[in-house]
Each structure stands twice: as structure tokens, then as C-alpha cells.
Amino acid sequence: MTGRLEGKRIFVTGAAQGIGLAIARAVAREDAAVFLVDRDQPLLKREAEALRQAGATVGFMSADITDVPAITDAMAKASEEIGPVNALINNAGVNVFAEPLETSEAEWDRCFDINLKGAWNCCKAALPGMIEAGGGVILNIASTHAFTIIRHTFPYPLAKHALLGMTKSLGLEYADRNIRVNALAPGYVATQKVLDYWASFPDPEAAKAETMKLHPGGRIATPEEIAMAAVFMISDECPFMNATCLTVDGGLSVQQHPA
């Protein structure tokens, strides 16, 4: 019995840990070939080798998504190691939270260079091959920040709103080339970033409890739960889903007032 993603050759960014690693593991379990990209070379190599030992077809390269030549090289290496890429998952991102007037130019640039331009760099590298092959799929990992605003998180929501705009634009632009472009918007997920966020408070356990209270179910997502949604969206099970965003946040963004 074959997996749901047999024949998919997937390029995943930010793949050495957190949501990206969970996605890499999930797509590999469904018989996709996967190429991992991350800036953390030692961690990336360790996780890629673990996937290989589990029987997956895996390639990897350490690269910064803001570095256009590096991403071009990574896409070429992916084609050599796993075959021409027909699916891209733009997962790499960074939290940049501040009050607007306290945001430095460097913070602004870092936020947009990674969260928006970096995703575009990867799309630009992947799209020509998809067009030539007659189709493909792109999934941008957005956030509930893409359509809601939390005070003092500037300029991160701006970049995620723009990422959603890019998703819709590319989805319409290339629909007639049989290329689907969608976004997935997680809410709070139990990643190292969230653990570090709680740890930044004087009472981390109290901060964690406040986060849990925001959610109707009283908990946050696991990376694996986000990965399961990504598997569906990258698969051929939703061929008419294009230029849209799937929210996976346990109902967080639906509440008008926190509990």
C-alpha cells in the first residue's frame, strides 16, 4: 500500500526543528521524497540522517532563505538528490515583536527579509520547474497573525498579512499552469519558540497558563497536528483548494474575547 504523497518531491524550509521537522517526518511517512533546508547545519544533518535511517528518501542543504544564490543552489541540489521539486513548503520564519515606534530598522528588515522575501525567494526558485513539469503545489506556513492583530507584536503581523496576500496572488497567477498555492495558519504551537516565549516571563508557568486559557479546548497544538494538516494540503486530496488559507488554531481566532 502506497502513501498519500507518493510521487511528491517536497522542498521544506526551516526543517531542522519545530513545525518544519514535524512536516518533514509526516510527509516522509506518506512516501514523499523530501529535501530539507535550514540554517542550522549540525541539527539539519542529524535529522536528515535519522529520516534516512527510517527509510525515507531525503536530501538536505544548509542555507539561509534570504540568500538568493544559496536557495538557487539548494533547489538545484534537491533536483539532483530527490528529483525535480514539485512541492514547496515555506515554513522558515522568525518572530519579531515590538511596539511600532520602538521597532528598529534592523528589526523591520529582518522580519520582512525572512518571513516574506525569504518565502518569495523559494517560490521564485521552485516555480520555473513546476511550470515546465506541468504542475505543482506550494504551501506557505502563515499564522493567525495573518488576519488578526495582537498589540505589541509589530511588525510580524504585517509580514504574515503580506504572506497571505502573496499566497492569493501566486495562486491566481499560476492556476492555469496547474499550480496550487495555499497557506496554513497555525495558532500557538508547542515549539521551542513558544517555550522560549514563556521562559521570558518572570513566572513561565503562569505565562503558559494564560496562553492555555486563550484556547477553547484549554491547550495548544503539537507540531505533529500542524504537520497532519500540511500533509492534506500538499496532497492530491484537495485538488480544487487554491489561493486560500486553512486555519488550525483550536478555535483561538474565532473568539471575540479571551476566556
* Residue 48, Cβ density class (10 Å: 0-12 exposed, 13-18 middle, ≥19 buried): buried
How far apart (Å, rounded) are the C-alpha atoms in residues 61 and 105? 30
Residue 110 has what DSSP assignment? H
How far apart, in Å, are the Cα atoms of 113 and each of 17, 118, 211?
20, 6, 28
Residue 140 lies in a domain: yes
pLDDT tens-place string over residues 140-182: 999 999 999 999 999 999 999 999 999 999 999 999 999 999 9
Residue 208 lies in a domain: no
pLDDT at 257: 65
Give the domain range for residue 238. 9-188+222-249
- Segment 18-40 shows an average pLDDT of 98
CATH of the domain at 126: 3.40.50.720
Residue 232 lies in a domain: yes
How far apart (Å, rounded) are the C-alpha atoms in residues 190 and 222? 5
Run of H or E residues at 247 = strand 245-248
How far apart (Å, rounded) are the C-alpha atoms in residues 247 and 150? 17
pLDDT at 259: 55
Catalytic residues: 156
Report the percent of the chain where pLDDT is more than 70. 99
**3-class DSSP assignment, residue 219:** coil
Q: Domains in the chain: how many in total?
A: 1
- Segment 187-199 shows an average pLDDT of 92
pLDDT at 193: 86
pLDDT tens-place string over residues 106-141: 999 999 999 999 999 999 999 999 999 999 999 999
How far apart (Å, rounded) are the C-alpha atoms in residues 35 and 114? 19
Residue 254 lies in a domain: no
Residue 183 lies in a domain: yes
pLDDT at 85: 98
| Angle in degrees, CA 61, 53, 139, rounded to 5 | 50
Half-sphere exposure of 160 (CA within 13 A, CB side): 28
- Segment 202-217 shows an average pLDDT of 94
pLDDT at 1: 77
- Segment 180-191 shows an average pLDDT of 97
What is the tally of helices (H) and strands (E) in the chain? 9, 9
The residues pairing with 185 across neighbouring beta strands, listed in sequence order, are 247
User: What is the distance, to the nearest Å, from the Cα of residue 77 to the centroid of all Cα atoms in its chain?
Assistant: 20
Residue 46 lies in a domain: yes
Helix-strand-coil percent breakdown of the chain, rounded to 5? 50, 15, 35
- Segment 47-76 shows an average pLDDT of 98
Average pLDDT over all residues of the chain: 96
Residue-wise DSSP of 181-196: EEEEEE-SB-SHHHHH
In the chain, the amino acid numbered 71 is I
- Segment 216-220 shows an average pLDDT of 95
Residue 209 lies in a domain: no
Asked if pLDDT for residue 197 goes beyond 90, the answer is no
Residue 254 has what DSSP assignment? G
